[in-house]
Structure 1
Amino acid sequence: MYYESISKAMLENCMKVVVRKTNQSRNLSIGMFVNHGSKDETIHNNGISHFIEHMAFSHENMNVAAKQMVGDLLDNGARYEAYTGKEMTRCCITSQTSYSKDIIKALSNIVKFRDIPEERIKHERAIILQEADTYFASSKVKTELSERTLWGERSLGLFVIGNQENISRFTKEDIESRFQKYYTPSNTLMVIQGNVDPDEIINNIATEFDFWRNNKVSNPLPMLEVSPSVTGIGNSNRVNLTISFVGPSFRSRKKYAMAILSDILGDGLKSRLFLELREKRELVYSIYSYSLSYGLGGYLAIDLNCQKEKLDECFNVVMEIVKDIQGKGVTSEELERARASRITSTLQIPNDSVRHLNTTGRYALYNKDFFVDNEVFELMSITEEDVREIANEMCDESNMALSAVGTNSESLISLL
């Protein structure tokens, strides 16, 4: 007996297709995932992946046929999403199952991206510059600032949105040539999730994308050999501090131990950081931790907001808690609570069709299959010693980056 199944195919043009048949689903989600993001950029063209997403996947910028097809789907209740990340760009459409052929045809027309009008580039440039202003003035900047501090101005350390100077000078030729280079069948993955016949929908995709010829593509080699550093920006009476430790990549099984450690430290009302810094010492209002794993690398981050004069005390308490876990380990109660929370979150993924699709696509880009029960198995296999071991392996000053909004780098250096 089995609970989940995935069908895979490689089309003649080398585009990969993954179909997850979900009998209980009454909607259909189809996503196109392209192995192209800010990891493939340099400081000189940082932001071009995001600019391409705006030009290729924004409804108003599509060619006439694609615009009509996507518009018709939206009129009939479809949900449309486009997104650029560090490691990929995706375009996803969720609708009723009866619209499967329309979705596939629309996506096939979207990739017929060429000869974009200059006025559309000018218009979208203004929108992206507005987005950049909003982005750097919001809390969104915290995560990417911590990643910049971990990996420097390269690969995973580059901001997805890019810098405003680059955004202002990207040309029509820059955008179109970059699209032609990276948006190829062999660099693209199609993920379909719903109550569909795998063979039928794979054949439909093969027919609609038959025009798309493959070009040789070679993504740049990753460059992550940068030592973690310290970055502080702004000046305020309150500081948002992020303490980050370099950790295992997505491909490592140690990512599960890192996730459990993160939850024990700062996930929820019973986490060590919350109980000590907020409830006992009243030093902060907000404190939490999280872990992220990319294909190229991963990290654990502790995020807190405190008064500037309390920054030293907060940092020292955090490090004391980390060192306590390194020395004494965690309790069985902490492990069980964190594991149960992770499992609950994992079991919820299939209930959200878009999240499920994106998770399946992300795993597939790493040449892995996402199955809920496999994730539960991996979490159940984590022991107290695994958590203590990953804490000792990761949480060292030589492996630590500090970033903050509300104070300068010099004040952060003084914490060390």
Structure 2
Amino acid sequence: MERYTAGYLSNGVGYLLAPRIHAHVTHVDVFLRAGPRYEREAINGVTHYLEHLLVNPAYFRGALKKLWGALENQGATLGAWTGKEFLMLRIVVPAEAATKALDFARAMLEPARIRKADVEAERPVILDELMRRRYSAQQAFLIVEEALFRGGYGRPILGKEATVRELTYKEIKDWAERATAADSIRVVVSGSVGEGAIAGVERLGDLEKGEPLYDEGYVEVAPRFVAIPGDSPRVRLLLAFPGPGMNREDRFASEVLAYLSGAGLRSRIFQDLRQKRGLAYEVFGGSIHYENAGLLFFNVELARERLLDGFRVLIGSVRSISDLDLSSEDTTRAVEGLVMSLLQQTETAQVSQKLGMNWLHDNLFFPSREAMRYRRVSPADVRGIAEKYLKTETMAMAAVGVGAGELTEMMEVMQ
């Protein structure tokens, strides 16, 4: 049974208590409404920069340092993650330390503690992280959203080298004050939730309200192809198509479509490229959903000499998905696969992130309700989504290891 306690403190901080039976630890997840969606081009990457400054113990001083030392002695762990529209801070502690963890969270959110020396000390670390990502296998995923969307959702989470180099102490400090304002904060306490956690949440009641971060309020799709040259014998292609946002009803049908066409050994893309023709080993697809936007993607790694053949089959497969003769059995198999994945998440710490991403937009996440909405999806719904979204004229592509000449030949395949 899914039982939550949710509400707002008088200053606007939203809290959500989500106990799990038999849990031994408490997860305190603090979500800040921030990220590239809210950043201007000139300060892109500032939220990720702030993440580094907030959670690095090297920058803890005074009471904050003492609080963390006490928690660390009890085995606590600290982590953080920046997304397109949030910054999440995670503290995991033994159940009896929940109040201390929330005291620590409150102290960690104090923007006045950020010093200019800390900003400069962290800058080369972030620049090195940018360089490391540039040469990682994730590169295609990092740039395909930039190729699909213009504006907030199209900006990279880490920012760009030029903006990271130019960000000033004042810009970062101002951003910290706005991102940590009370009405931009949602707290999720999950796992073992007792009276200590409830008392700890109230400690956040003295946070001040602030000016909300700028939000463009619309999503502009401006697809393009981006090629990153390389001389590796392997190339990676990531195709992306605009999709529905998190709270759209057709999001569920889009996830079923992504599952049928790109997830698992029986998916359409896998069968066409690997099983029938042996053109690729790694073939998969999926979908990503934010509050106001989403995307469906297909990821393929190919040998360079098979690039054009593989791309030709991939494009043909995508174009034919809307013509699939889906049976109720096909749809049911995909739906139940998604439901099983969803239910597995509810038994792990991942559920806290799901709760927080929804609660940040003042929505409650109920796995049973999500499962019910998946099970309403029909074959006709899936075909409708394919016809609506899987159009090559609105397709973006990130091609890693592909040169200009090869990209030109790929464009000819699209004709």
Q: Give the TM-score range, shorter chain.
A: over 0.9
- Cα deviation for residue 115 of structure 1 reads 4.9
Q: Output the CA distance in 2 between the equivalents of 1:34 and 1:55.
A: 14
- Cα deviation for residue 194 of structure 1 reads 2.6
Q: Is 1:170 matched with 2:167?
A: yes
Bigger shift: residues 142-151 or 22-31: 22-31
Gaps of 5+ in 1: none
Match of 1:190 among 187, 192, 196: 187
Q: Give the AA of the match of 2:142.
A: E
Do the aligned residues in 2 keep the contact of 1:63 with 1:113 (CA within 8 Å)?
no
- Cα deviation for residue 335 of structure 1 reads 1.8
The aligned length equals 410
Do the aligned residues in 1 keep the contact of 2:55 with 2:78 (CA within 8 Å)?
no
1:66-85 to structure 2, matched below 5 A, reads 66-85=64-83
- Cα deviation for residue 330 of structure 1 reads 2.0
1:105-184 to structure 2, matched below 5 A, reads 105-152=103-150, 154-184=151-181
Flag the 1:80–1:115 CA change in 2: closer, same or farther, 3 A.
closer
Do the aligned residues in 2 keep the contact of 1:149 with 1:402 (CA within 8 Å)?
yes
Flag the 1:34–1:59 CA change in 2: closer, same or farther, 3 A.
same
Q: Output the CA distance in 1 between the equivalents of 2:81 and 2:318.
A: 35
Q: Output the CA distance in 1 between the equivalents of 2:376 and 2:403.
A: 42
Do the aligned residues in 1 keep the contact of 2:98 with 2:200 (CA within 8 Å)?
no
Q: What whole-Å deviation, never above 9, does each CA across 1:355-411 have from its counterpart, x for those lacking one?
A: 111110011112221111111111111111111110011111222112210114643
Q: What whole-Å deviation, never above 9, does each CA across 1:121-176 have from its counterpart, x for those lacking one?
A: 22211111111111111022221211011013x20111101111221222221111
Flag the 1:332–1:320 CA change in 2: closer, same or farther, 3 A.
farther
Bigger shift: residues 170-179 or 325-334: 325-334
Q: What whole-Å deviation, never above 9, does each CA across 1:300-347 have from its counterpart, x for those lacking one?
A: 000101123422322232233333331243233332222222111111
1:31-70 to structure 2, matched below 5 A, reads 31-70=29-68
Q: Secondary structure at the match of 2:220?
A: coil
Bigger shift: residues 302-311 or 89-98: 302-311
Q: Secondary structure at the match of 1:209?
A: helix
Gaps of 5+ in 2: none
Do the aligned residues in 2 keep the contact of 1:155 with 1:222 (CA within 8 Å)?
no
Q: Give the AA of the match of 1:297.
A: A
Q: Is 1:221 matched with 2:219?
A: no
Match of 1:319 in 2: 315
Q: Is 1:403 matched with 2:398?
A: yes
Flag the 1:168–1:52 CA change in 2: closer, same or farther, 3 A.
same
Query: What percent identity do the matched residue pairs reach?
Result: 23
Do the aligned residues in 1 keep the contact of 2:229 with 2:402 (CA within 8 Å)?
yes
- Cα deviation for residue 224 of structure 1 reads 2.6
- Cα deviation for residue 77 of structure 1 reads 1.5
Do the aligned residues in 2 keep the contact of 1:273 with 1:321 (CA within 8 Å)?
yes
Flag the 1:274–1:219 CA change in 2: closer, same or farther, 3 A.
same
Q: Is 1:234 matched with 2:229?
A: yes
- Cα deviation for residue 229 of structure 1 reads 1.2
Q: Give the AA of the match of 1:232.
A: A
Match of 2:339 in 1: 343
- Cα deviation for residue 71 of structure 1 reads 2.9
Do the aligned residues in 2 keep the contact of 1:144 with 1:157 (CA within 8 Å)?
no
1:349-360 to structure 2, matched below 5 A, reads 349-353=345-349, 355-360=350-355
Match of 1:382 in 2: 377
| Root mean square deviation of aligned Cα | 1.8
- Cα deviation for residue 197 of structure 1 reads 4.2
Flag the 1:126–1:218 CA change in 2: closer, same or farther, 3 A.
closer
Q: Output the CA distance in 1 between the equivalents of 2:239 and 2:384.
A: 19
Q: Give the AA of the match of 2:261.
A: L
Do the aligned residues in 1 keep the contact of 2:221 with 2:242 (CA within 8 Å)?
no
Q: Is 1:293 matched with 2:310?
A: no
Q: What whole-Å deviation, never above 9, does each CA across 1:245-272 have from its counterpart, x for those lacking one?
A: 1111111121111111111112112222
- Cα deviation for residue 277 of structure 1 reads 0.9
Q: Output the CA distance in 1 between the equivalents of 2:45 and 2:144.
A: 18
Q: Give the AA of the match of 1:114.
A: A
Q: Give the AA of the match of 1:234.
A: P
Q: Secondary structure at the match of 1:269?
A: coil
Q: Is 1:204 matched with 2:200?
A: yes
Do the aligned residues in 2 keep the contact of 1:9 with 1:202 (CA within 8 Å)?
no
- Cα deviation for residue 298 of structure 1 reads 0.4
- Cα deviation for residue 226 of structure 1 reads 3.6
